[in-house]
Every structure is written in C-alpha cells, then in structure tokens.
Amino acid sequence: MIKCISCGAEYSLEEIIYTCKECGSILEVLIQPNVSKDIFECRKSTMWKYKEFMPVNESKIISIQEGGTPFIKCNRLGDDLGVKLYVKVEGSNPTGSFKDRGMSVGITKACELGVDTVGCASTGNTSASLAAYAARAGLKCIVLLPSGKVALGKLAQAMFHGAEVLSVNGNFDEALEAVTALALEGRLYLLNSINPFRLEGQKSIGFEIVDDLGWRSPDRIILPVGNAGNISAIWKGIREFHQASFIEDLPRMTGIQAVGACPITNAFRKGAQEIVPVENPETVATAIRIGAPVSALKALRAIYESDGYSETVTDEEILDAQKLLARSEGIGVEPASASSIAGLRKLVDSGEIDRGEEIVCIVTGHLLKDPNTAINACKEPISIEADVESLKKILDDL
C-alpha cells in the first residue's frame, strides 16, 4: 500500500500518484514481508538480494546489477580522525551513483504500470541514471537540467543513453516544478524522488550496511543531503530490518549540507519539523545544490527519530575532503559525496562525534562524474622531454 506520511490516507500500489490527494503531503510505500534473514544467504550481492522487501513484481525487474557496492574499511583516515571508519562506495553502481538503486525499482514500476514515457528534473545523476534504465527498459525518456550547472560526466551520460535532454533556464527547484506539472497532467511518469518507489530502491543501502557489518548497525551513518530522499530511504531500510528483528540497534542518521544550500540543517538547528526553502542555492557540490528538498519532512523525521544530527560544510571543506579521501584511501568521489567526509571531520572537531565511534560515510557518486572540478583542483602535469635524464631528475625530487 502507499500511505501519506502526514494524514495517513492510503492508496493502492497500482495508482499513479505522487502527493496525497487529501492533504498534499508526500507518500511512502509500506511493505513488511514476513521472512527470515537466512533467505539472503548465498544470494548474489546486488540490491535484489533483498527482493522480498521491494514492492514490485519479481518477474518484471529491470536491472543492470545495481547495489552490492564496496564497503571499505578506511584505517588511515579513520585513525587520523580517531574513529572507526567505513566508506560505502556508491560510485561503483552501473552509472556511477546510488541513484541506480532507486531507478531500478522506479523503472520496474513504470513497466508494471505500462507507461511509455518517463521523465525527471535533475542536478545530473538522476538524469544519467534514468536515461540508462529507460534505455534498458525500452521507454522514452525526457530529462530537465538546470542550464550550465550540470557536471560534464553526468551530462554526457544522459545524452549518450538517448534521453531527450532539455537545458532549463532556471535552477533545479524550478525545473522540478515544471516537470511535476507535466506528470500531473499524465504526460509522463515522474521519476524524481518524490516518487516513493525511488526510495524503495535506495533503502537497500541501509540493508547492505547492516548486512556488511554482520547484522548490526554502526553508531552513525553520515551522508550528503540534497533533495533529502536518500537519508529518508536509508533510515526506512534500517527500520524495516529492525522491525523484522534482523538487527537490535539503530544508527544515528547524520545529514550534511553545503553552506549555500542548507534548509534541512537550518530546520534542525531550530528543532523545526518543516523547512524554509533557500532561494538561489549555490555550491560547488552541484548534486546537492537544492533549496527546497522534496523529502524534507521524511529527512527531518529520520534525523530526530534516530537521535541524529545535521551540519553544514563550506565548499572549501568539501574540496579538501574530496582530495583527502582520494589521496589517503584511493577512493575517488564527486564533490557532493565528499561532504560526508567533510562533515565527519567537522563533527569530530566540534566534539559531536566521540572518539572511537563506528562511522559509515556514504560516498554517493564517482569522481569522474565531475572531471572539471577534479582537474581544477590539481596542478598541471609537468611537461618533459622523453629522455631518461629528465625523468630521473623528477624522481629524485619526488
């Protein structure tokens, strides 16, 4: 069943609906299968390992093997910060971001519903993922991107997988408003994270973390927050496994935002349940350059219910953390993803995070998504003649 998170109104899983008809609030899918965790043993490591928890027809699944991403113990960085650190590398998904998990379920649902056109507004990764999964399913696809603000890798993916790519003269929030209006007229099936089936796929990040840890929770999960779907989804997944008695404890959900786009952190600091949208959001981390997050209500609930936290980081802190992770652990992520590491550093410094805490940072997208930012952060290659003597000089100075 689909249920309104504010007034509790209920809708059928077969209904195409994005917001509550009674009160206008956002919706969630409810599913609580009665299974033992033993059924997961011996299954291949993709997000469909947990298919009983996915509200779609197993025979229709559209997949490119999303999920089952690396869960890396980071001793060097963890020891430096005085915590036990794991990094969940979502850049290893088929199109290079966690959005693939949500898109696999969302596109499967689109096929079940028999729609022929799907669409989204996007800061980049949603469009890259939707374009690929629509291609896999044979659906028509239209994506709206804020002009000039989409990282190069993401734009290349959306175009190359054959989506109709529209460059919108406006920011993400405005593009989303436009495409949502089209969806409400029934012209396309909307696959932004206001679509509750997207979050059903993304909750598998929570499943994998507790499975990877041997059926227990870390002390804390830290991740970047933009449209606020992912933090809501991961908390939903963790709660479902808790309710099924697969785990006993719960992690504190810790959402990091950029200083120039931080409506969730602002609300958290006031203890508020609702956000005040940020006009003209700005940050180098374009994937979280969002002023009016659609899933704010769910995200704030996740933070409060889990005794979690929210903090902001500057663009400089984000870019520093991006480089730190790349150079101390060999893990290359795009700027938005590095805000989880930047947030960890800041919260250790402020004393909010205790020494020795077991932390999982989710790094949401791959370094190559945004090659321009990566290149701009480095010095130019040294140009030399192709002779041994010049090479030796450089090696001596290394």
Ligand X SMILES: *Cc1c(COP(=O)(O)O)cnc(C)c1O
Give yes or no for residue 196 binding ligand X (CB under 6 A): no
Give yes or no for residue 227 binding ligand X (CB under 6 A): yes
Give yes or no for residue 65 binding Zn ion (CB under 5 A): no
Between 258 and 300, CB nearer to Zn ion: 300
Which residue is closest to ligand X by CB? 365
Residue 114 Cβ vs ligand X, minimum distance, rounded to whole Å: 27
Which among 11-19, 39-47, 228-236, 311-319 is the span making contact with ligand X, rule CB under 6 A?
A: 228-236
Between 55 and 263, CB nearer to ligand X: 263
Give yes or no for residue 310 binding ligand X (CB under 6 A): no
Alpha helices in the chain (DSSP H): 75-81, 99-113, 125-137, 152-160, 172-184, 196-202, 204-212, 229-243, 263-270, 296-305, 315-329, 335-350, 371-376, 388-397
d(C-alpha 343, C-alpha 346), whole Å:
5
User: Could you say which residues in the range 110-129 bind ligand X, by CB under 6 A?
Assistant: 125
Which among 113-121, 135-143, 169-177, 330-338 is the span making contact with ligand X, rule CB under 6 A?
A: 330-338
From 376, 356, 380, 337, select the one nearest 218 (Cα to Cα): 356
The angle that helices 125-137 and 99-113 make with each other, rounded to 10 degrees, is 40
| Separation in Å, CA 210 to CA 98, 218, 321 | 17, 8, 25
Q: Of 1, 7, 272, 276, which one interacts with Zn ion (CB under 5 A)?
A: 7
Give yes or no for residue 201 binding ligand X (CB under 6 A): no
Which among 19-27, 135-143, 221-229, 300-308 is the span making contact with ligand X, rule CB under 6 A?
A: 221-229
Give yes or no for residue 340 binding ligand X (CB under 6 A): no
The residues, ordered by sequence, that sit 6+ positions from 104 with a Cβ below 8 Å of its Cβ are 47, 48, 61, 62, 63, 64, 66, 133, 201
Q: Which residues of 226-238 are buried (b: 16+ CB within 10 A; e: fewer)?
A: bbbbbbbbbbbbb
Give yes or no for residue 143 binding ligand X (CB under 6 A): no
The residues binding Zn ion (CB under 5 A) are 4, 6-7, 9, 20, 22-23, 25
What residues line the site for ligand X (CB under 6 A)? Answer: 97, 99, 125, 193, 224-230, 287-288, 334, 336-337, 364-365
